[in-house]
A = this chain, B = another copy of it.
């Protein structure tokens, strides 16, 4: 048994990434943020889909094209399709923000490559 809310490293320099589960075409990761955000003016553009669940802390996630802004609190989930440019505008500087992220190939892509 492992607890995702314990052994939360306090690191104001860098976010912490830890693989939890590796499947055939998906990867489950714990991410710990301590106030970090995407550098000003930058967007993240990923080649796989990512589903995120915020477990503790708080964060603001925004999308370039739609302009949607999500103020995420514990229990909140957002799906980020591949190549949908997004950024983490803000994470709580006073408390660790723990995320569960599932990186995966979308089902259609799997079907297409069979």
Q: A residues touching B (Cβ–Cβ < 8 Å)? A: 1-6, 20-26, 28, 51, 53, 55, 70, 72-79, 100, 102, 104-107, 109-111
Residues of B within 8 A of A107 (CB): 22-24
Given contacts A75-B6, A100-B53, contact A106 B1 (CB under 8 A): no
Instruction: Give the residue name and chain of the B residue nearest to A61 (CB).
Output: B1
Residues of B within 8 A of A4 (CB): 53, 75-77
**Cβ contacts A to B, 12 pairs, < 8 Å:** A1-B77, A2-B77, A3-B77, A5-B75, A21-B104, A23-B107, A23-B110, A24-B107, A25-B25, A25-B26, A55-B55, A102-B102
Q: So how many copies of this chain end up in the complex?
A: 2
Cβ-defined partner of A77 (8 Å) among B20, B105, B106, B111: B20
* B21:A23 contact, CB within 8 angstroms: no
Residues of B within 8 A of A2 (CB): 76-77
* A24:B74 contact, CB within 8 angstroms: no
* B104:A23 contact, CB within 8 angstroms: yes
Docked CA distance A76–B28 (Å): 15
